[in-house]
Structure 1
Amino acid sequence: MAEKPSRPERREARRTLRTQRRFSRRQWRRRWLQWKPLVIVVGVLAVAAVAVWLVWFSSVLAVKSVVVTGTSAISQRDVRDAAAIESGSPLVSVGLDKVHDRVAALAAVESVTVTRRWPDQVVIAVTERTPIAVIDLGGRLRGLDKDGVVFLSYKKAPANLPKVVSPAGTDARALREAAQVVRSLPPELAKITDHVEVATVDEVSLALTKDRTVQWGSSADSEQKAEVLAALLKHPAKVYDVSVPGQPTTK
């Protein structure tokens, strides 16, 4: 029968075990310090690889819907068609500037903002042009905004919008002048204006009720022209010329 270790032997055995454990821990720490940079690099690369896969290749961050806001005169479908965003493409790859330019090219769009909404949406916020007049271009009724941009189409002219008449082919600058004249008319003058006619930048005229005509010229000094015309209308005439407001004439 084996002899039982004495107390001093047991203490020595425990000290030896503790020493071995401390040595093992020091060895493990030294190895960890040697391998730690490599482990960190591998971890970073793994995280980066997962991130690249999620952003560029997985369906998690792919375009699932295009949200359109702010439309009434134009349809959301028309905006989406113009945006031409492919469903399922990586959200990060959507060229927001190109989408902006394509949607902004729609005649009825005054401004547009395009943003990403993570994880899977593109948001297109549209501000539509507001018609200030209806223009007859070659027999077609169109909306005219404050900048003279022609957009929309009407089968029948809205009763609440003034009318602008212009020959086909009138350039954009002339239409802008007509729009500025329409905006400048005071309410009392607008009430007696049947329509505004525009041929060129300097040839804008008002067709008033009672078969009267006002030669307005360009949109320059419109406020002064309106004041001069108000005084002239007190005297019956068929033609009022306020194109040079300092030297008005009547016929």
Structure 2
Amino acid sequence: MRRPGPLPPPERRDARDPHADPEGLVALDDEPRRRAPVLPFRRGRADTTDAAPGGGEPSETGASHEDAGAQPTGWRDVWRATRARRRALRSEIRRFTARSRRRRMIWIASLSALLLLVIGSVGAAYSPLFAVQRITIEGTVAIDQAALQEALADQVGRPLPLVDHAEVKAALVTFPLIETYTLEARPPHDLIVRIRERTPIGVVRSDAGFTTVDAAGVVLASGGARPEDQPLIDARDGLASPAFEAIGQVLRTLPDDVHGLVAEARATTPDDVTLVLHDGTEVLWGSADDSVKKAIALLAAPDGYSYYDVSSPGSISVG
């Protein structure tokens, strides 16, 4: 039996053949390969040209979409498309920022209302709607109310925030019995003046007679006759001395029932204050320290003695 001969070797193609096989072998399919047609680019026209039927070369006539009835794209079309795009973009921005814009509007409205409220309140406060119509004076006992009202009459008709404190002070300084004062504005039309009067503690002998003074040595009144309800004060070196300051502190802290019993108070130093009662009894008070305890000890001491030493309230000496 005879063997078949070997297959003939594959033929090699020319290297210049564009359809040559990569390995240099002849393809089994000898059908020529097709390439996509190359279309010319035209400004303002369609980008492609109709290819010939069957995928061949372009037609000889070079017909384009414009030839088929398509309109060229001009600057008006571009402007309209740009405007439509901007409108769509703004619409999306408004949709996504609606919450933040609503929150911002709430804040703006709240701040505006608060600002209007503050401006309205300040404007009303400085307007005649809150002018002073009544001045009420409290705390006076020895000072004439009518004289005080007359001295403060210039403040009537002024808005409460515009009451001149310097003028009020200048008017009240003329009353020596006033120790301190406070002002209170009570809208819409009331001005309250609270006064603390000076407390007289005794009288001192002078060339003009007798002068009533308080614990600070302020002269409250002067006259030729000695007031019966005030003790006579005898302090070495006068009203500006440490001895008078100690006497003033002692007499000011005395209870009313004990103060009414004192006829005279004398001292040469701050530590040897001595009180003389109306019945001639002498009380060695000492310094102004623990004056309340000393007064309690004096009230608890037995009667019938002409001398009491309460300088040490823990141990009272009598004689």
TM-score tier by shorter-chain length is 0.5 to 0.7
Q: Deviations over 1:3-58 (max 9, x none)?
A: xxxxxxxxxxxxxxxxxxxxxxxxxxxxxx9xx989998887766655444322x3
Residue 66 of structure 1 pairs with residue 145 of structure 2: no
Q: Give the deviation of 1:59 after TM superposition.
A: 2.0
Candidates 202, 206, 211, aligned match of 1:141: 211
Candidates 254, 266, 277, aligned match of 1:197: 266
Candidates 163, 178, 181, aligned match of 2:250: 181
Work out the number of aligned pairs and report it. 207
Inter-CA distance 42–218: structure 2 relative to 1 (3 Å threshold):
closer
Structure 1 unaligned segments of length 5 or more: list them.
Answer: 1-32
Inter-CA distance 244–66: structure 2 relative to 1 (3 Å threshold):
closer
CA contact (8 A) 2:202 2:233 kept: yes
Inter-CA distance 54–198: structure 2 relative to 1 (3 Å threshold):
same
CA contact (8 A) 2:210 2:226 kept: no
- Equivalents in 2 of 1:186, 1:39: separation in Å? 64
Structure 2 unaligned segments of length 5 or more: list them.
Answer: 1-101
Q: Give the deviation of 1:176 after TM superposition.
A: 3.7
CA contact (8 A) 1:61 1:90 kept: yes
TM-score w.r.t. length of structure 2: 0.44
Query: 2:157 maps to which residue?
Result: 88
Q: Deviations over 1:82-138 (max 9, x none)?
A: 76963333212336699579858964234433211211221102232333x322152
**169-178 vs 217-226, greater mean Cα deviation:** 217-226
Q: Which has the higher helix share?
A: 1
Q: How is 1:142-181 mapped onto 2 (pairs within 5 angstroms)?
A: 142-144=212-214, 147-148=215-216, 150-153=218-221, 155=223, 156-166=225-235, 169-171=238-240, 173-181=242-250
Inter-CA distance 54–249: structure 2 relative to 1 (3 Å threshold):
closer
Q: Deviations over 1:139-168 (max 9, x none)?
A: 432043xx5554531534443333323467
CA contact (8 A) 2:236 2:243 kept: no
Candidates 115, 125, 130, aligned match of 1:55: 125
- Equivalents in 2 of 1:185, 1:48: separation in Å? 52
Query: 1:8 maps to which residue?
Result: none
Q: Give the deviation of 1:214 after TM superposition.
A: 6.1
Q: Give the deviation of 1:188 after TM superposition.
A: 8.4
1:140 alignment partner AA: F
Inter-CA distance 137–85: structure 2 relative to 1 (3 Å threshold):
farther
Identify the structure with bigger relative contact order (alpha carbons < 8 Å, sequence gap 6+): 1
- Equivalents in 2 of 1:72, 1:121: separation in Å? 21
- Equivalents in 2 of 1:185, 1:39: separation in Å? 64
Q: How is 1:10-49 mapped onto 2 (pairs within 5 angstroms)?
A: none
Larger Rg: 2
CA contact (8 A) 2:211 2:219 kept: no
Inter-CA distance 102–171: structure 2 relative to 1 (3 Å threshold):
farther
Q: Give the superposed CA RMSD.
A: 5.1
Candidates 106, 116, 124, aligned match of 2:185: 116
CA contact (8 A) 1:85 1:94 kept: no
